[in-house]
Structure 1
């Protein structure tokens, strides 16, 4: 059916016009935290070189809780003083950030130590939170770290717990009449002065609008090309649905069926140098990956040198590697060493980045 027949028939039948709405949604994600603050005082400090605090825990949990229970250890037997935070009982791996403060007289902060980034604590792990203290600083009387043969330490740790999301809020916004009118221009071929032939079907648009929207169309119509003279563009390598969505984006800034044509539209946007549309499609592809399509999506991103999309897909594949390796898409890329090498380099880089962050 030629474009324009459906709407014309509706108007002829006297159909009641419907109010068009666009939908805007919003939500909020919140990372919940569990905080513990422990004040440790070591009396008769000069009498020993190894100390261990009692077990402490969050007030949010009872004493028999196995979730968050810790001890502090202070070791002065080496050339430096070290304080370790030891997970106790059933911690299953908790990400945390922490601060340790040496307190002087009257609880006055003397020196504060921060841990940059996140650290993960596991029960029974030797990968403790460790802080090295300069012995010379600790014993220097001018710094007043030790008072009355006692050392006071304030330890504060914040564990990252689960996250919560507020329900998605939907707001229906009436579509601008101008946008509806512009979209209507695509429905009636009598208004168009350029014909786009795709898969033996025709779409109609306006030369000036296409030229302003795409430098490729601009160059095509600015020179005495066949397309410029005949006002007909044949697109044998494009999808009709994708080209229709591209025209809707050009005229209205919207892509109502992005979920159905994202990959084809991504390719079309690249071909016609429409960077905003390509970014829109790339963001959608990167946010809606599946195990079955991940390998093919990586090939696509690599083909069009989309570093940001490639990295998003590599992260997804790293998280679901075993499942992805069972797919047909994975078998297809396994015979392409340049692509697999690129993929595993990205996965390794992502792993190194995450490791350095902790």
Structure 2
């Protein structure tokens, strides 16, 4: 009996040493999702006289899953200020409750001296924490942002134009558990590998004649990327034995850029392809690349080109870009071109049109 009890005690001791308590840990990480918006007010003098509490606003912009807008009150937000000050606010423009955020408003010095007027909540985060917006329409900003008489004689106003820069940092909290491993994962190099395959021509089975240039490629890759090439090589009326194709109505540099996209899934560097840093040259090439993308069914490339052209709309390119947008059914690009044209009738020589 005693021997048995001794064995039992020993077994318990072994059990306690072979099954130690497991430690665990976790981490709460508070961080901001940041985004910025440039807001330009042209014709500042024409906005005066609206009356206190009346404002003009920027287009809405998205940061951290919420919509925001900048409100500018040329005669001040409050009647008691009697138009002595201009007021500027950042407003929550979408549904949301208790949205916590940090803000920064900068009025840009247009003299080139860099003496911008900056109001930053980011700098005071340690003192007061983020600002909480309770509901749609909640605002953060300044009723007395700038004394109006001082503003109108300053370098912040040039050619009757004000430029503001707004940064919003939406606070997010995420949980991070304890990892039992730390294996560094390199970024994907698939695009680079396929690009090398294109550039070396290794294993190529199709040759394209584009003008005076020759391009070697791979049918399976092209067919996987483009429904047009899939039908041409492997469709019901396609010919899988084709080894040479003549491409008409496409410039060699445009076809090369299109091939690079199909192998890398990235918009090629236009400056590298053309050897030019001219914005006009870049715009013209992207216009032709959009047309090629539409022709060969490359929807992602078409959208990338559309987004790039939206950024580069100016008085020299807006009309050709508008015609391109209409021809290839690019609704957002068309809207941007029309808005630009409507805002710049004098610069485009359309001021007398009715």
Q: TM-score, normalised by structure 1?
A: 0.46
Q: TM-score, normalised by structure 2?
A: 0.47
Structure number, greater radius of gyration = 1
The structure richer in helix per residue is 1
